[in-house]
Structure 1
């Protein structure tokens, strides 16, 4: 039977990826258990995070120019060690199920990057999942070096990512706004699309890469170590609409091993990274 790959109505919902997709997920770590990290941004907003086994208790106190209401809660949380003194924490708000938080804590630099994933309605102006980025200093630590910042350093790379023995995708990083994915193995084999992306540099060779899909109402936040081109490693989350109108949003973490397949170098006058300067 011939499959119409262009018929997006037949594409799997986000839940359809979950079985086995997390086979390469790293072990969670208890390195942060019992520790508190208070994030302070340039608005004066303070968010204290206290970690324990499988959970994080957070207390949000907005600054003078922050319209967000004060709040506090304890959520289930997974913490992964990315590199020496570099951790990725992932949690899904219980009281606001349409929000999930990806928190990057660099205990060496003293800076943190938080990515808030918000699930809403797709419109003509934006896709269903939006990502909000916030850089903070960690109050309990001294700050050294550069804070996380948007980057164009991935543009031109073509990377193979293997999520399990059955799931494999390639990514082509096109510009500060777009990337192309193609499923090479797994339930989406043969499918491909070009979607929105945003990339932040956390450390030399380590990037937070996020994407937001337009066909399936979902988005992803990953932190990827590109320092060894033959042995890339990433950790991340997929978050989006569950199967059915009344379903709870789908939220699950995963990991992948990768390698650089090729790298395109554009002539200076046609360099896509110049879009970041506009």
Structure 2
């Protein structure tokens, strides 16, 4: 038995650990050169042009939720299934913000995930103080903005919250050296445990969110409370693969962020049905 005490690490160190022989999906060029009108469910809209060089040009047609795209200047797209894309944007706005677009062109709908990391002061509020002040235990904030592609938002239903992962215990192999298990506990919490890798032996229970994107395909988002971390992942239980990204601070001085792509081979260990 090892006597080494597991230690929490910053997201920059996590990214370095995941990098060698990562199973993240390659960049997909299918969206290069395409123009999309993103129509949000508050009746705002934006025209988004995805250039072949990875540039993103956005024009706000109607202000509102669509204005969240105004600082975009680049993107990285990948695809787990035909017609479904994970588009992660680069932007010129605050460095502690993140935008990821889940596009389901087969059904003409999208979800934009907007995340924000807490600053140093908010990160250092202890758990007891957060409880007393009726704050969430995590300082990482997230919004889910829904809409339709090239048609009014009311024309198609949004990606709906899902409970289909709840009760599953899944294992995810991200690289030859990095392996985790997740236990999806209920509508708002999941447990993670590092079996192999730079966080080996670490485990915690954190806030999470689930949406169904297609049949047996789910958007899973988590927000960690100890090290400010946002994870945005697509989980495909048909192909048993995942695709997405992890976002957080490079190190403990809060001066820079790290946004890195991840992907894994998945397996279901067991499923407890309530």
After TM superposition, the score normalised by the length of structure 2 is 0.86
Kindly indicate whether structure 1 or structure 2 has the higher relative contact order, using CA contacts under 8 Å at least 6 residues apart. 2
1:40 CA drift (Å)? 1.1
Q: Gaps spanning 5+ residues in structure 2: where?
A: none
| Partner residue, 2:263 | 255
- In structure 2, distance between residues paired with 1:111 and 1:68: 14
- Give the superposed CA RMSD: 2.3
| Partner residue, 1:16 | 13
After TM superposition, the score normalised by the length of structure 1 is 0.85
1:48 CA drift (Å)? 2.0
- In structure 1, distance between residues paired with 2:66 and 2:43: 12
- In structure 1, distance between residues paired with 2:27 and 2:101: 14
1:216 aligns with 2:227: yes
1:96 aligns with 2:94: yes
1:76 CA drift (Å)? 2.6
CA contact (8 A) 2:40 2:65 kept: no
What SS does the corresponding residue of 2:219 show, helix, strand or coil?
strand
The equivalent position to 2:145 in structure 1, one of 123, 134, 154, is 134
Equivalent runs, 1:8-157 vs 2, <5 Å:
10-22=7-19, 23-52=22-51, 53-63=53-63, 66=64, 72-120=70-118, 121-122=122-123, 123=125, 124=130, 125-126=135-136, 127-139=138-150, 146-157=157-168
What SS does the corresponding residue of 1:18 show, helix, strand or coil?
helix
What SS does the corresponding residue of 1:15 show, helix, strand or coil?
helix
Q: Gaps spanning 5+ residues in structure 1: where?
A: 267-278
1:141 CA drift (Å)? 9.1
Relative to structure 1, is the Cα distance of residues 108 and 215 closer, same or farther in structure 2, using a 3 angstrom cutoff?
A: same
- In structure 1, distance between residues paired with 2:78 and 2:70: 23
- In structure 2, distance between residues paired with 1:139 and 1:147: 14
